[in-house]
Structure 1
Amino acid sequence: MIVDCGGGTVDLTTRKLLGENQLGEITERAGDFCGSTFIDNEFIDLLKYEVGNKAVDLLRERHYGQLQYLVQEFCQNVKLPFTGNDPDFSYEMDLEEIAPALLQYVTGSERESMEEKEWMIEICFNTIKFMFDNIINRIIEMIRVQLDNSLGKCSAIFLVGGFGQSQYLQKRIEEEFSQSVENISVPNQPIAAIVRGAAIYGKSLQRSRNLKSMNNSKCVIATRILNNTFGIKLYDKWEDGDPPDRLLSGGMIIKFYRIVERKTEVPFDQEFIVENLFPIYPDQTRLYFEIFYTKEQDAVYC
């Protein structure tokens, strides 16, 4: 299983090793918006709690650079070095020094509180852990579902992407899955691994197309599991049992003609042939096909 933890999204795919350096897919790919930038959002929520929503909104609107500098300070001093091993780990952030423009927008009880604390925000271990756990718990659940959907035992999990470098993320995944997955590892350059993989795939794609005329396709991705059901829109005769509100003039109805079903494993570059289609009218000279896709496996209507 490859777990690509980026800034915005986390994407999972489970592959099987085939012959001739090719990979097949075991189950549907999965993804969600739970990358490392959502930990930054947790920090901004903490900031709003300390100084008020309006103050942070005005800082974002009028001094966006200073807000970004606050986030950068959080990343460098909290998010990146946090391992989850040291309960004494904490960080004090001086708002007056890092984002002086913010002070003018803080009012009421929040201002009184921050003046008492001399505009210092202390981010303690438990707060940092809470920020991480909100996001990491979602990643762990994604991995668990992916493992449950896979056939057979998963031999390895590879953490890649920028967020994959987080020692705390690595620790949590080890704790959750070390008993069921023998090898959990991170490449030396987890960000570069994604770029290298894309380059290898692109080269193999070009090479396989060049060799197609010789019937010797060698794309590194041999098969994929479809995430959607694909089909086309067809006009058919309305029959008893069809929804009355879908009845068109001339006794016709628009239906979904399924070409290939979700969760089907398909070889690279496979073509699907649709047969026995006819024009609606005898004098019709052209046919237009609209392609639809859906998560449903038994869709009937477009």
Structure 2
Amino acid sequence: MRIKRLVQKHPEEKTFWKNDQWFNVYVQVNEEKRPDYKSRLYGEFDRFGFEAEDKYASLAEDDEHNGWRLFRRFKMVLHNNKRLTKDVTVKDFCGKQMTAFPLFVMSIKYLREHLLQAVTTQKIGIEETDILYVLTVPAIWDDNAKRFMRDAAVDADIDPARLKLALEPECASIWCETLGTDVKGAVAIAGSQYMVVDLGGGTADVSVHERKPDGSLKEIMKASGGPWGGIFVDENYMKLLDRLYGEEALTDLRKTEMSDYFDIIREFEHKKRTVDIKNTKHVIVRLSVSLRDLANKYSKQSLEERIAALDSHKNAITPKGKDKLKVDWTVIQSWFKIPIDLLIQHIKTLLAEPKMKRVQTVILVGGFGESQYVQDRIRKEIPDDLKYTYGTNVFQYFDENKYPDDKKVWENGKWQVPFCFKVYVRVNEQVKVDQQMTKRSTPNSKISLTAVYRTTQEHPKYITDPGCELLGTIELENSTDIPFEQQRLETTFMFGDTELFVKTKNKTTGKEAYMTFECFT
């Protein structure tokens, strides 16, 4: 977002610089309306979002950006400041301080005007008095920060009688009702309990709710979270560029080639979210020729020499041409580690609470939540509760203390019990993605048939019990040249993202067969 100082447009209007800000002494004499106090102190709002960055960079190319101020990611000042007042300041793009409160006022006012324009365009007859404004705030903000936001909204001309504050993860929870069938089914059914993790640029907010029969939400646990957003990954990336190209070169690039500077930031933001971690060993990041030229201007060392001087990762970074770097995925992965480790530990702590036993679903939302790496880490490290007991059909040796006489049959010279349910994992047990359970046995025929069953019972005895369901049968051919009692079979259950993978392998011959079944909802 950018603030523009009021420029001198008439001989009677004067400006002066005080306390690192432009002030106007007189208003334009030909204006019909006297500008309000805030605009005279802080300037006028011009643009928001990427448009603000693009305009600022365009002005800088022609050296016309003096008097214009660009502010990025100033929202975090409300979290970092423990003694928050309306006098709190933030730095603009060039490092100059300014009071933060008017920035919030202007941002909210922009959003309000944007909404009204969209409503007017799309539907006739709606008055602003018909609108209830809901202003979202991170769950980890304290009461001072929330009051700060409410006051900013009122100063942005929003009627306080039609203004409510809501926690961001709670709003995300409601939004999930509009999504696909799988997600909607997990959050919209009466009695369902679920966790929403809202992972944005600055903060991670976690809320836990239960859907009531009347459609309302009941808070299961107070919203919580921490400063574990995506900006910490970005900061690690910029620290690497600082080591490779030098602080002076980056500072000069920001001043002289601002478009290139913003392109570097956006390029990495895109890579951070979309890289395919399962098929990627390295990432190519595009920089700019101008950055390398500036680095050579300020340092006698070549880029290759600066890479070789790195304390770590020196063998994991390779220049590609004049404007690219090849970075091993392990390097980028290390930048994610601290914030995601803290987030996962927090989620595990919450799920360990007794009141959280019925929470079956974790929903990840927010910009940083789009990262495949983040999704993969959470899937692997947050255990899932199984809704079924899974196992196979086996013969068990007859034990009169376990089985009634009418269950036994004479098989291969022994009394055995057929149709027994051999359990690999039980209902409500917690399993992680890629967790494996393996059991061993001995074949008794040329073809081994592994019949996979599931049931909602926790302790099933027979596959013929009510509710037992056959998922499929795996056929494996054994050797007839080796005595069956000398061959060894291994049956492995592996739980993936949404599937159950079952493999039967003859360890003696090396032959194997497998099937995949739907497991989690």
TM-score for both structures, normalised by structure 2: 0.31
Matched, 1:82 2:275: yes
Matched, 1:169 2:363: no
Kept in 2, the 8 Å contact 1:26–1:150? The answer is no
| Aligned: 1:139 with 2:378 | no
* 3-state SS of 2:240 partner: helix
Offset at residue 179 of structure 1 (A): 3.0
Matched, 1:109 2:313: no
Map 1:46-125 to 2 at 5 A. Answer: 46-76=240-270, 78-96=271-289, 99=291, 102-103=294-295, 106-109=298-301, 113=305, 117=319, 119=322, 120-125=324-329
Residues 1-302 of structure 1 aligned to structure 2 (within 5 Å): 1-76=195-270, 78-96=271-289, 99=291, 102-103=294-295, 106-109=298-301, 113=305, 117=319, 119=322, 120-149=324-353, 151-153=355-357, 154-180=359-385
Q: Distance in 2 between matches of 1:28 and 1:102?
A: 50
- Where 1:8 maps in the other structure, the secondary structure is coil
Conserved 8 A contact 1:96-1:103: no
How far apart, CA to CA, are the structure 1 residues paired with 2:277 and 2:253?
31
* In 2: Cα distance, 1:158 partner to 1:91 partner: 30
Match of 1:280 in 2: none
Report if aligned partners of 2:211, 2:217 keep a CA contact under 8 Å in 1: yes
For structure 2, which runs of at least 5 residues remain unmatched after alignment?
A: 1-194, 308-317, 388-521
Q: Which amino acid aligns with 1:10?
A: A
Structure 1 residue 100 displacement after superposition: 6.2
SS in 2 for 1:40: helix
Q: Secondary structure at the match of 1:156?
A: strand
SS of the equivalent of 2:277 reads coil
8 Å CA contact retained: 2:207, 2:221: yes
CA drift of 1:105 comes to 5.4
Query: 1:160 Cα deviation (Å)?
Result: 1.1
1:40-99: CA deviations, max 9, x gaps? 2121111112112333234335544322211112223x21222321352321535316x4
Determine helix, strand or coil for the equivalent of 2:377: helix
CA distance, structure 1, for counterparts of residue 268 and residue 335 of structure 2:
12
SS in 1 for 2:333: helix
Question: 1: distance between equivalents of 2:235 and 2:261?
Answer: 12
What amino acid is the match of 1:113? E
What residue identity is the alignment partner of 1:15? H
SS of equivalent to 1:145: helix
Instruction: Give the counterpart letter for 1:34 in structure 2.
Output: W
Residue identity opposite 2:268 in structure 1? F
Higher share of residues assigned helix: 1
2:243–2:306: 8 Å Cα contact kept in structure 1? no
| Aligned amino acid, residue 157 of structure 1 | V
Contact 1:93-1:122 within 8 A present in 2 as well = no
Normalized against structure 1, the TM-score is what? 0.51
The whole-number CA distance in structure 2 between the counterparts of 1:170 and 1:34 is 14
Aligned equivalents of 2:385 and 2:239: distance in 1? 36
- Cα deviation code 1:253-278 (max 9, x no counterpart): xxxxxxxxxxxxxxxxxxxxxxxxxx
Distance (whole Å) between structure 1 residues aligned to residue 337 and residue 279 of structure 2: 16
Superposed displacement of residue 145, structure 1: 2.5
The 3-state SS of whatever aligns with 2:335 is helix
| Contact 2:198-2:364 within 8 A present in 1 as well | yes
Gaps of 5+ in 1: 183-302
Q: Hey, which of these two has a bigger chunk of strand by percent?
A: 2
Distance 1:94 1:160, change over 3 A: closer
RMSD: 3.0
Change (3 A) 1:170 1:92: closer
Secondary structure in 2 aligned to 1:39?
helix
Give me the whole-angstrom Cα distance separating, in 2, the residues matched to 1:11 and 1:101: 42
* Matched residue count: 180
Indicate how the Cα distance of structure 1 residues 3 and 123 shifts in structure 2: closer, same or farther if over 3 A, else same.
same
Alpha-carbon separation, structure 2, partners of 1:107 and 1:50: 10
**Bigger-Rg structure (1/2):** 2
Distance in 2, matches of 1:28 and 1:152, equals 12
CA contact (8 A) 2:203 2:226 kept: yes
CA distance in 2, matches of 1:135, 1:141: 10
Q: Assess, with a 3 A threshold, how the Cα gap between structure 1 residues 149 and 56 changes in structure 2: closer, same or farther.
A: farther
Task: Give how far 1:5 is off.
Answer: 1.1
Q: Secondary structure at the match of 2:265?
A: helix
Please give the secondary structure, in 2, of the residue aligned with 1:26: strand
Quick check: 2:264–2:287 contact (8 Å CA) kept in 1?
A: no
Q: Distance in 2 between matches of 1:26 and 1:105?
A: 59
Aligned partners of 2:366, 2:261: CA distance in 1, in Å? Answer: 25
Q: Which has the higher contact order (CA 8 A, sep 6+)?
A: 1
Residues in 1 aligned to 2:225 and 2:240: alpha-carbon distance in whole angstroms = 27
Rounded to whole Å, the distance in 2 between the matches of 1:13 and 1:54 is: 43
What's the % identity of the aligned pairs? 26
Distance in 2 between residues matched to 1:71 and 1:47, nearest whole Å: 11
- Give deviations 1:209-249, integer Å, cap 9, x for gaps: xxxxxxxxxxxxxxxxxxxxxxxxxxxxxxxxxxxxxxxxx
Measure, in 1, the Cα distance between the counterparts of 2:344 and 2:337.
10
